[in-house]
């Protein structure tokens, strides 16, 4: 890479070095807002009968992104079809489109909606071309890693004699028996600059399972019902949402639920412990999935 990131928005790939699969070469000439910090929603109100002002909490506002550039095509029919693809994008008012930047530090993504009309005008070069401009808005101002991080833990158990499985089995020196144990705890790391909420998936069998945050961010989420073998419950603290088998809303079954405590802080970690009220030898597990996040 020569220092110019590659961008993708829906089916359009903006690459300074290569045309897309239709033979159209998309060039980005201006970008604002993707790498900048979003504004805050803080407000100032004057004190009564004294100097100064009162400042409300400054939560990050939405992220506004502007992209401008040129499109070059081998002929005018291809150019017209490229213009139609561009102006027909982002038409769904309910579903965002991922805007991905593949930069030197790895891919990052914002989920965006159209924030203004899509502008095009004929180019001035001899090659069939047009200039284009997009204004986008990301209601969630964070930039996320494109790929998900994952962690998993079983229920806590005491040391037992069993076979330790690594990357593979090698019987040339026999099979070794060794003590193993599960702490029931997993540590979730976020080296980014913005907080991120993991999604937790509880796989049965579990009896009234509890997730507990340990450390400075103490909190509990208890699923006040049983999860049978073959069933799973998805807990999304960022929603917050609780879904049985990924479909049926059961948020009312999660009580108590300190959803706001189940967030990985920027540049930090979240220590989460799994337990339940049933057989300590049960095979239920919890899986965490999260994306790194930046402001």
pLDDT digits (tens, 9 = 90+) for 61-102: 999 999 999 999 999 999 999 999 999 999 999 999 999 999
Element (H, E) at 83: helix 76-87
Q: What number is the average pLDDT over the span 140-152?
A: 96
> Are the C-beta atoms of 219 and 261 separated by less than 8 Å?
yes
Q: Is the pLDDT of residue 9 over 90?
A: yes
Q: How confident is the model at residue 28 (pLDDT cuts 50, 70, 90)?
A: very high
Q: Is the Cα dihedral 19, 21, 23, 26 positive or negative?
A: negative
Global confidence as pTM: 0.83
The number of helices, as runs of H, and strands, as runs of E, in the chain is 1, 27
Lowest mean pLDDT among 33-37, 42-46, 241-245, 290-294: 42-46
Centre a 10 Å sphere on the Cβ of residue 133 and count the other Cβ atoms it contains. 16
172 alpha carbon, distance to own chain's centre: 44
Give SS3 for 251.
helix
pLDDT at 159: 54
CA dist., res. 64 & res. 139, Å (int): 9
> Are the C-beta atoms of 7 and 98 separated by less than 8 Å?
no
Q: Which residue has the higher pLDDT, 109 or 42?
A: 109
Q: What number is the average pLDDT over the span 222-230?
A: 96
Q: Which residue in 209, 241, 210 sits closest to 226, CA to CA?
A: 209
CA angle 152, 156, 160 (to 5 degrees): 110
CA dist., res. 252 & res. 244, Å (int): 11
As a whole-number percent, the residues of the chain with pLDDT over 70 amount to: 91
Q: What number is the average pLDDT over the span 239-267?
A: 95
pLDDT at 107: 96
Q: How confident is the model at residue 182 (pLDDT cuts 50, 70, 90)?
A: confident
CA dist., res. 75 & res. 109, Å (int): 32
- The burial of 125, by beta-carbon neighbours within 10 Å (0-12 exposed, 13-18 middle, 19 or more buried), is given as exposed
> Are the C-beta atoms of 67 and 100 separated by less than 8 Å?
no
* pLDDT tens digit sequence for 200-214: 999 999 999 999 998
Which domains are assigned to the chain?
A: 6-39+59-145 (2.40.30.200), 149-160+177-294 (2.60.120.860)
pLDDT at 62: 96
Both tokens of 10, joined, read 């829906």
């Amino acid at each position: 890479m020569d220092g110019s990131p590659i961008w993708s928005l829906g089916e359009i790939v903006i690459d300074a070095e290569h045309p897309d699969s239709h033979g159209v070469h998309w060039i980005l000439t201006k970008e604002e807002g993707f790498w900048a910090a979003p504004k805050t929603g803080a407000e100032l109100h004057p004190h009564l009968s004294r100097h100064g002002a009162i400042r409300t909490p400054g939560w990050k506002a939405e992220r506004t992104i502007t992209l401008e550039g040129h499109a070059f095509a081998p002929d005018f029919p291809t150019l017209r079809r490229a213009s139609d693809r561009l102006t027909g994008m982002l038409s769904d008012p309910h579903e965002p489109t991922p805007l991905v930047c593949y930069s030197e530090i790895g891919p990052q993504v914002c989920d965006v909606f159209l924030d203004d009309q899509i502008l095009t005008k004929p180019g001035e070069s001899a090659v069939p071309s047009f200039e284009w401009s997009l204004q986008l808005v990301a209601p969630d101002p964070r930039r996320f890693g494109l790929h998900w991080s994952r962690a998993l833990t079983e229920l806590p158990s005491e040391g037992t004699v069993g076979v330790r499985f690594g990357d593979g089995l090698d019987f040339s020196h026999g099979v070794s028996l060794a003590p193993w144990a599960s702490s029931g705890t997993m540590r979730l790391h976020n080296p980014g600059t913005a907080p991120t909420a993991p999604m937790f998936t509880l796989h049965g069998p579990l009896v009234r399972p509890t997730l507990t945050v340990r450390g400075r961010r103490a909190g509990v989420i208890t699923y006040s019902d049983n999860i049978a073998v073959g069933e799973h419950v998805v807990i999304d603290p960022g929603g917050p949402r609780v879904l049985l088998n990924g479909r049926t809303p059961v948020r009312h079954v999660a009580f108590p639920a300190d959803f706001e405590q189940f967030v990985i802080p920027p540049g930090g970690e979240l220590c989460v412990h799994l337990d339940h009220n049933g057989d300590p030898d049960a095979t239920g597990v919890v899986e965490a999935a999260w994306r790194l996040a930046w402001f």
